[in-house]
Chains A and B, each alone.
Chain A
Amino acid sequence: MSATLLHTPLHERHVELGARMVPFAGWEMPVQYDGVIPEHRAVRTDAGVFDVSHMGELEVEGPRARDLLQGALSNDLDKLEPGQAQYTLLTNEDGGIIDDLIAYRVGECSYLLVVNASNRENAYAWLKEREIRGSDVRDVSDDCALLAVQGPRAIERLGLPPARPFTFAEASIDGVEVMVNRTGYTGEEGCELLCMSEDAVRLWDAVLERGAVPCGLGARDTLRLEVCYPLHGNDIGPETDAISAGLGWACALDKDFAGVEVLRRVKADGPERRLVAFVMEEKAIPRPGMPIEAGGEVTSGSHSPMLEVGIGLGYVPAAAAKPDTELTIDVRGRPRRARVVKKPIYKRED
């Protein structure tokens, strides 16, 4: 199997650093270098760098690129000026989530979508089928490398000026031309650096030289879970709707897009179940698939390196979704108490 796994341009660097490599969405990716917990803490206290070059990049261009995307994506694309980005969902006719992604308005008639590695083909095919005259969808993932540099000192270490979240600009970092996106998946300040594949090694070396700690997918998962960012394939998917998942804020229900009628109805009736965040009250680590006694199940669960307790996300009946509601989770046959908490689970005390 391993012969068929894809490698990012930084594969050799990961191996040299002693990373533990694992298969992920068809790629061989570093899950950790020194350990999930020290990497996680580096991002919360200083700066860490993740190779996320497995993610997909789709370019959508043309005078009607906006029309194509406005009908396919849940958020209101017209809120974006060139140089701005937004979190948005690619939805199916049932209101299910084909992918969650970030849309960047690169120019008047030009957009870049950064999609999940596991959904790259689906997202591309979905948009390609719906292409209209005057819009062109291209998968440029193979030309691109993406490094997420995250943490309270990330921007300072990279020598970048401050900028608002969800904006982007071109810059040069130690001689490498990059697109600096003020986005991320950790809940920390920082950016995601998009560069040409052939420049990836030079950029990686420069970012490490500037003191960012190499971090793997393990820490990426615990970081996003602490701040309750959903993971497509776990917490959201083609069978789940945005309203139940708590992503109504990313849905412009006053415009037309695939599945909007379903979402309007769920919103009007109130969802039957909701994706909640919870913290274990007893020693136990929740894991995806564990049943929740009130009905529903855990969709993401792990140990929180900052809070040092088990934390998770899961769907529960709407009546059990209020903060402070006690839940019982079936941990391999053992009932363990948890408490619903307001999202995010972790927030830095300033």
Chain B
Amino acid sequence: MAAAESYPDDLKYHEEHDWARVEGDEAVLGITWFAADALGELVHFEPPEVGSTVTKDQSYGEIESVKAVSDVIAPLSGEVLEVNEQVVGAPETVNEDPYGNGWLLRIRVADPGETDALLDVGAYRELLASQ
């Protein structure tokens, strides 16, 4: 079952509907409920390779529903430490739990200063309201 709409307070958000949970010098990345809902039931995640580098504001992978393909945009730059294999095997996990089991990547953050450019939950909700 798809999750109910929510945007946790402890995350940083990117305007392309991606989130980052910063934990020390690492961060976990994913897509927001809004993005997952707009795409519909996800059926494929094409992840980057572990050890490759993702760059803030650039695509690091693709996520697909039955009808649509979408680039996934990196909210922060860094080296890929881990890909969520549960999502690769069962992409609908993102619809069911976008901020928990539906995370996509764990990265080592290259520049902690980049976090300042991200939105807090209030600003992200305002962005959604304006769209």
Residues of A within 8 A of B (CB): 20, 31-32, 35-37, 218, 221-222, 283-285, 287, 302-303, 305, 310, 332, 334
Residues of B within 8 A of A37 (CB): 41, 43, 66
A287 to B68, CA, bound (A): 9
A35 touches B40 (CB 8 A): yes
Evaluate contact between A222 and B62: CB separation under 8 angstroms: no
What are the residues of chain B within 8 A of A283 when measuring CB–CB? 44, 88
- Interchain nearest-CB distance for B49 vs A (Å): 12
- A302 x B44 contact (CB < 8 A): no
Interface string of B42-54 (1 = CB under 8 A from A): 0110100000000
Residue B64 at the chain A interface, CB threshold 8 Å: yes
Residues of B within 8 A of A287 (CB): 69
Q: Could you say which residues of chain A place their CB within 8 Å of the CB of B64?
A: 285, 303
Distance between Cα atoms of A310 and B65 in the complex (Å): 11
Q: How far is the CA of A283 from the CA of B43 in the complex (A)?
A: 10
Given contacts A283-B88, A285-B64, 20 further A-B contacts (CB under 8 A): A31-B67, A32-B40, A36-B65, A36-B66, A37-B41, A37-B43, A37-B66, A218-B40, A218-B66, A218-B67, A222-B66, A283-B44, A284-B46, A285-B43, A285-B69, A303-B44, A305-B66, A332-B62, A332-B69, A334-B46
Interface centre among B41, B62, B88 (most CB of A within 10 A): B41
Determine the distance from Cα of A332 to Cα of B46 in the docked complex, in whole angstroms.
11
Q: Which residues of A contact B69 (CB under 8 A)?
A: 285, 287, 332
Q: Would you list which residues of chain B between 48 and 87 have a CB under 8 Å from chain A?
A: 62, 64-67, 69
Q: Output the nearest chain A residue to B43 by Cβ-Cβ distance.
A: A303
Q: How far is the CA of A32 from the CA of B2 in the complex (A)?
A: 14
Task: Report chain B residues within 8 Å CB of A305.
Answer: 66
Q: Once the chains bind, are A302 and B66 in contact (CB under 8 Å)? A: yes
Count residues of chain B with CB under 8 A from any CB of chain A: 13
Identify the closest chain A residue to B69 (Cβ). A287
**Selected contact of A36 from candidates B41, B44, B46, B88, CB within 8 Å:** B41
Q: Which residues of A contact B62 (CB under 8 A)?
A: 332
Q: How many Å lie between the Cα of A36 and that of B40 in the bound state? A: 8
Cα distance, A41 to B64, chains bound together (Å): 19
Cβ contacts under 8 Å, A285 to chain B: 43-44, 64, 69
Q: How close is A338's CB to chain B, nearest CB, in angstroms?
A: 14
State the Cβ distance, B78 to closest chain A Cβ, in Å. Answer: 23
Closest 5 CB pairs of A and B: A303-B43, A36-B66, A37-B41, A35-B41, A303-B66
Residue of A nearest to B62 (CB): A332
A332 proximity list for chain B (CB < 8 A): 62, 69
**A-chain residues with CB within 8 Å of residue B46 when the two chains form the complex:** 284, 334
Compute how far the CA of A284 lies from the CA of B64 in the bound complex, rounded to whole angstroms.
9
CB distance from A282 to the nearest CB of B (A): 11
Which residues from B are CB-within-8-Å of A221?
Answer: 67
